[in-house]
């Protein structure tokens, strides 16, 4: 480096870059570390699972190894009716979410209660587990590992809930990421406006344990963070995903008919070219009604996506 100036310069460069990283990475990390998980964050990380983007459990983003969110109306052990409760089912082999693996992520009292009352440290990926979000008498939320506290097994919970009460929301979020919905729809109502139409902006602790957060930065379509509260109709969602222009003629959203897969709910092959041809006739005014949208199969991808969208309350 020959010149003394270059030696000094390199040191200053290290100092400048290091200083910048201290201010922009290290210091915020202290703040963000102290953010305690809210009830929303607990619910969200439990239904979305550890990771919705690329990961080794689900490298092709096909929704492998994802938890389920189920609505229980009876106790899975005794079969006695009970107050409807949401439970989060992690079958054997499903990676546990951040807050369970690292209770520090929950922070503060939630961490303490989840460890002591909720026994979350006893959850084991190799066995599977069922979780609940609970509140104590003082309305302090925590996560309970129902497998440890009540002996609920994933199989029993799934059986008791039944398919109609099972939401494949985690697999749906994977689709949200894979299909790039977030290039147009944000998941972040803004603090300065958006309250009336899109609902309240998220709070500080609402994201703990979530990955990816997929806020979105180029909004070309409505915010979806609370879409399930605005519109909870499965039928509307179904028409809208098959061809958005069936319910909103001016929409620029792409059609997601390919998520139906080859067959409909009755196992009948879906004839896409015929549907499109008939739709074009309808559009040109040669038909009075658009063609019927096929009911999707139980295990189709579109089911997961609709489950996800309806979970966004």
Report the site for other proteins in 214-243 (rule: CB under 8 A): 214-222
What is d(CA 253, CA 229) in angstroms, rounded to the nearest whole number? Answer: 21
Asked if residue 278 lies in contact with residue 209, where contact means CB atoms within 8 angstroms, the answer is no
What is d(CA 13, CA 73) in angstroms, rounded to the nearest whole number? Answer: 63
Closest approach of Cβ 32 to other proteins, in Å?
A: 5
Closest approach of Cβ 261 to other proteins, in Å?
A: 11
| Residue 183 interacting with ligand HEM (CB under 6 A) | yes
What is d(CA 180, CA 259) in angstroms, rounded to the nearest whole number? Answer: 13
| Residue 218 interacting with ligand HEM (CB under 6 A) | yes
| Residue 192 interacting with other proteins (CB under 8 A) | yes
Q: Which residue among 80, 217, 266, 289 contacts ligand HEM (CB under 6 A)?
A: 217
| Residue 64 interacting with ligand HEM (CB under 6 A) | no
What is d(CA 89, CA 211) in angstroms, rounded to the nearest whole number? Answer: 19
* Nearest residue to 173 via CA among 311, 310, 308, 313: 308
Closest approach of Cβ 52 to other proteins, in Å?
A: 6
Closest approach of Cβ 15 to other proteins, in Å?
A: 10
| Residue 236 contacts which entry, other proteins, ligand HEM, none (Cβ below 5-8 A, type-dependent) | none
What is d(CA 176, CA 110) in angstroms, rounded to the nearest whole number? Answer: 29
Closest approach of Cβ 265 to other proteins, in Å?
A: 20
Asked if residue 218 lies in contact with residue 229, where contact means CB atoms within 8 angstroms, the answer is no
Q: How many residues bind ligand HEM (CB under 6 A)?
A: 4
The values of phi and psi at residue 229, to 5°, are -80, -25
Q: Which residue among 7, 29, 162, 230 contacts other proteins (CB under 8 A)?
A: 29
Residues 96-155 that bind other proteins (CB under 8 A): 98, 105
Closest approach of Cβ 160 to other proteins, in Å?
A: 31
Q: Which residue among 65, 69, 111, 178 contacts other proteins (CB under 8 A)?
A: 178
Residue 40 or 132 with smaller CB distance to other proteins = 40
Write b or e for each residue in 232-241: b if 16 or more Cβ atoms lie within 10 A of its Cβ, otherwise e: eeeeebbbbb
Residue 290 per-residue DSSP state: P
Asked if residue 99 lies in contact with residue 42, where contact means CB atoms within 8 angstroms, the answer is yes
Asked if residue 45 lies in contact with residue 210, where contact means CB atoms within 8 angstroms, the answer is yes
Residue 217 or 266 with smaller CB distance to ligand HEM = 217
| Residue 59 interacting with other proteins (CB under 8 A) | yes
Tokens linked to 25: 């990475």
Residue 139 or 250 with smaller CB distance to other proteins = 250
Q: How far is CA 174 from CA 49, 52, 204, in A?
A: 10, 5, 24
Residue 78 or 217 with smaller CB distance to other proteins = 217
Residue 70 or 106 with smaller CB distance to other proteins = 106
Where along the sequence are the contacts to ligand HEM (CB under 6 A)?
Answer: 183, 217-218, 220
């Amino acid at each position: 480096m020959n010149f003394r100036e270059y030696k000094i310069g390199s040191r200053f460069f290290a100092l400048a870059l290091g200083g910048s990283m201290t201010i922009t990475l290290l210091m915020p990390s202290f703040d963000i570390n102290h953010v305690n998980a809210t009830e929303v964050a607990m619910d969200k990380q439990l239904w979305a699972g550890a990771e919705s983007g690329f990961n080794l459990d689900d490298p092709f983003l096909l929704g492998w190894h994802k938890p389920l969110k189920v609505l229980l109306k009876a106790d899975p052990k005794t079969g006695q009716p009970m107050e409807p409760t949401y439970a989060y089912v992690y079958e054997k082999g499903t990676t546990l979410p951040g807050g369970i693996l690292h209770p520090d992520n929950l922070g503060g009292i939630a961490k303490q209660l989840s460890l002591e009352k909720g026994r979350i440290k006893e959850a084991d990926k190799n066995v599977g587990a069922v979780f609940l979000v609970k509140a104590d008498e003082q309305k302090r939320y925590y996560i309970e590992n129902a497998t440890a506290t009540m002996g609920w097994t994933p199989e029993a919970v799934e059986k008791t809930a039944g398919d109609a009460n099972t939401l494949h929301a985690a697999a749906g979020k994977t689709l949200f990421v894979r299909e790039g919905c977030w290039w147009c729809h944000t998941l972040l109502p803004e603090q300065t406006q958006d309250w009336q139409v899109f609902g309240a902006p998220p709070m500080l602790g609402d994201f703990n344990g979530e990955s990816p957060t997929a806020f979105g930065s180029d909004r070309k379509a409505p915010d979806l963070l609370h879409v399930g509260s605005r519109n909870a109709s499965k039928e509307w969602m179904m028409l809208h995903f098959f061809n958005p222009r069936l319910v909103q003629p001016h929409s620029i959203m792409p059609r997601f008919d390919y998520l139906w897969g080859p067959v409909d709910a009755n196992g009948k092959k879906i004839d896409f070219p015929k549907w499109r041809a008939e739709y074009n006739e309808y559009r040109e005014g040669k038909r009075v009604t658009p063609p019927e949208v096929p009911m999707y199969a139980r295990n189709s991808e579109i089911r997961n996506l609709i489950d996800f969208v309806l979970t966004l309350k």
